[in-house]
């Protein structure tokens, strides 16, 4: 049997639903079957990482042991000391495996690629969050099995959403009442059906039926028009954007749905992002758990440090520098290719421009109209800015130009 990517085939859903049934029966009767939860996790991880090629599974085991060692060494240290540079060292060490994996395509080093397994980014975000919240004093104690359970929570292991340890722990330690669990089941079924429609109907239409044909048409203009620009490229921009949203949102809905069946209220990852009125609103609606993670653990901490040490005195310049740093890191996280980096810089520029407009609008609120028409225009403009950024992100320009 080959490894099965989560939520990608009927086989996976059959295994999943069979394994979930005892968990759901237990919760229906007010009991959380911790030992069976562990068994179900092992089975899902086995078919995901050990079903055929076991290299990913072996990498996962060593990764978990490595991160656990870091977390518990730092937890022991933090109970007596609180040195910033020691904390920074542990954060850097926690992301080293992810850095190796991200550098692999650039360096084409077979040894580095041994560190890779599906979902390493999301597990790294969780591990770093724990280290940071230990440093903040928000997490004062954590047991090894709690750490492993949090990182290896199988509904979210491959593509998120990225939960927070303390929120997750509250759900795990609490058994929902019958009425609460009925609501979770209702929510889970709705999200499962919505995810099936998003991923396997709408996403399939845009990504499998439409996108390849439009890509061929788009690339046919290479060398025929200046920079290969054509109406086909515009069509590609919109079709790819629709595919990206419905495919990814479908995965996220599956993860939240299965979590609900297990009595866990995993946070939603998307909230009608194409209805956003500006780019900041968009990042509050798109890949929410990732954008909030970057906001809380990179942007806000960088802002605090810069203000505290007075590296830059002007608050606007501090915020702009923060945007550039944040989205540049996000670009590199996606990959070390020029279009991911440009994608990050584009969004940094969009955030800086948006903030400048909001400041201008605040100063001239009496002379700038605000009504349904201006709101509709703002949504239309934001939608097109976002779709343009997704065209950059897709890599089509790399194929078209190089």
* 137/283 same-domain check: no
* 148/36 same-domain check: yes
Q: Can you give the pLDDT at residue 98?
A: 92
Of 173, 193, 211, the residue at which a domain comes to its end is 173
Q: Is 326 helix (H, G, I), strand (E, B) or coil?
A: helix
DSSP 8-state assignment for residue 277: S
* 233/258 same-domain check: yes
More confident residue, 270 or 53: 270
Q: Can you give the pLDDT at residue 106?
A: 65
Q: Can you give the pLDDT at residue 218?
A: 96
| Residue 9 belongs to some domain of the structure | no
Give me the sign of the Cα torsion angle 244, 247, 253, 259: negative
* 209/150 same-domain check: no
* 191/302 same-domain check: yes
- The token pair at 83 is 């040195």
| Residue 303 belongs to some domain of the structure | yes
| Residue 11 belongs to some domain of the structure | no
Of 105, 140, 173, the residue at which a domain comes to its end is 173
| Residue 268 belongs to some domain of the structure | yes
Of 127, 143, 173, the residue at which a domain comes to its end is 173
Q: Can you give the pLDDT at residue 393?
A: 97
Q: Can you give the pLDDT at residue 336?
A: 85
Q: Can you give the pLDDT at residue 1?
A: 59
* 44/146 same-domain check: yes
| Residue 107 pLDDT greater than 80, yes or no | no
How many whole angstroms separate alpha carbon 62 and alpha carbon 73? 17
| Residue 2 belongs to some domain of the structure | no
* 142/222 same-domain check: no
List Cα–Cα distances, 231 to 2, 83, 215, 238, 383, in angstroms. 41, 56, 12, 11, 18
| Residue 16 belongs to some domain of the structure | no
Host domain of residue 334: 180-399
* 57/89 same-domain check: yes
Across all residues in the chain, what is the average pLDDT?
93
Task: Give 334-372 pLDDT, tens digit per residue.
Answer: 988 999 999 999 999 999 999 999 999 999 888 888 899
Which positions are annotated as active-site residues? Answer: 334
pLDDT mean over 128-155: 96
How does residue 43 score in pLDDT terms, banded at 50, 70 and 90?
very high
| Residue 196 belongs to some domain of the structure | yes
- Chain-centroid distance of CA 269 in Å reads 8
How many whole angstroms separate alpha carbon 151 and alpha carbon 157? 7
* 217/168 same-domain check: no
* 218/85 same-domain check: no
**CB atoms closer than 10 angstroms to residue 191:** 22
* 125/193 same-domain check: no
- The token pair at 158 is 């491959």
Q: Can you give the pLDDT at residue 326?
A: 95
Task: Give 194-239 pLDDT, tens digit per residue.
Answer: 999 999 999 999 999 999 999 999 999 998 899 989 999 999 999 9
- Total number of domains constituting the chain: 2
| Residue 388 belongs to some domain of the structure | yes
How many whole angstroms separate alpha carbon 329 and alpha carbon 347? 12
pLDDT mean over 58-78: 95
List Cα–Cα distances, 333 to 50, 125, 135, 194, 352, in angstroms. 26, 11, 24, 29, 21
How many whole angstroms separate alpha carbon 303 and alpha carbon 293? 15
Task: Give 74-87 pLDDT, tens digit per residue.
Answer: 999 999 999 999 99
* 64/38 same-domain check: yes
User: 151-188: b or e for each residue (b if 16 or more CB lie within 10 Å)?
Assistant: bbbbbbbbbbbbbbbeebbebbeeebeeeebeebbebb
């Amino acid at each position: 049997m080959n490894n099965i990517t989560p939520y990608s085939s009927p086989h996976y859903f059959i295994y999943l639903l069979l394994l979930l049934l005892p968990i759901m029966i237990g919760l229906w009767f007010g009991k959380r079957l911790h030992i069976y939860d562990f068994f179900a996790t092992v089975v899902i991880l086995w078919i995901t990482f050990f079903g055929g090629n076991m290299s990913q599974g072996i990498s996962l085991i060593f990764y978990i042991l490595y991160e656990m060692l870091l977390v518990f060494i730092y937890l022991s240290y933090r109970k007596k000391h609180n040195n910033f540079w020691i904390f920074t060292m542990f954060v850097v060490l926690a992301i080293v495996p992810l850095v190796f994996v991200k550098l692999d395509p650039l360096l084409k080093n077979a040894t580095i690629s041994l560190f890779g397994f599906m979902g390493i980014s999301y597990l790294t975000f969780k591990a770093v969050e724990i280290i940071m919240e230990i440093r903040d004093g928000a997490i004062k104690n954590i047991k090894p099995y709690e750490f492993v359970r949090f990182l290896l929570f199988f509904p979210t292991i491959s593509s998120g959403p990225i939960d927070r340890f303390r929120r997750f722990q509250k759900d795990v330690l609490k058994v929902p009442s019958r009425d609460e669990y009925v609501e979770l089941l209702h929510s889970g079924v709705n999200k499962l059906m919505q995810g099936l429609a998003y991923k396997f109907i709408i996403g399939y239409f845009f990504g499998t039926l439409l996108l390849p044909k439009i890509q061929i048409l788009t690339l046919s203009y290479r060398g025929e028009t200046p920079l290969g620009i054509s109406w086909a490229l515009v069509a590609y921009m919109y079709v790819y954007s629709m595919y990206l949203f419905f495919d990814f949102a479908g995965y996220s809905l599956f993860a939240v749905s299965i979590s609900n069946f297990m009595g866990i209220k995993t946070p939603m990852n998307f909230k009608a992002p194409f209805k956003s009125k500006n780019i900041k609103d968009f990042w509050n609606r798109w890949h929410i758990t990732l954008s909030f993670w970057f906001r809380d653990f990179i942007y806000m901490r960088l802002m605090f440090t810069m203000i505290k040490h007075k590296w830059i005195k002007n608050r606007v310049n501090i915020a702009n520098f923060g945007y550039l740093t944040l989205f540049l890191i996000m670009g590199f996280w996606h990959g070390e290719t020029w279009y991911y980096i440009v994608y990050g810089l584009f969004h940094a520029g969009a955030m800086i421009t948006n903030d400048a407009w909001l400041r201008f609008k605040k100063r001239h609120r009496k002379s700038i109209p605000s009504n349904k028409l201006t709101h509709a225009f703002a949504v239309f403009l934001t939608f097109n800015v976002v779709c343009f950024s997704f065209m950059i992100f897709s890599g089509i320009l790399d194929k078209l130009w190089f």
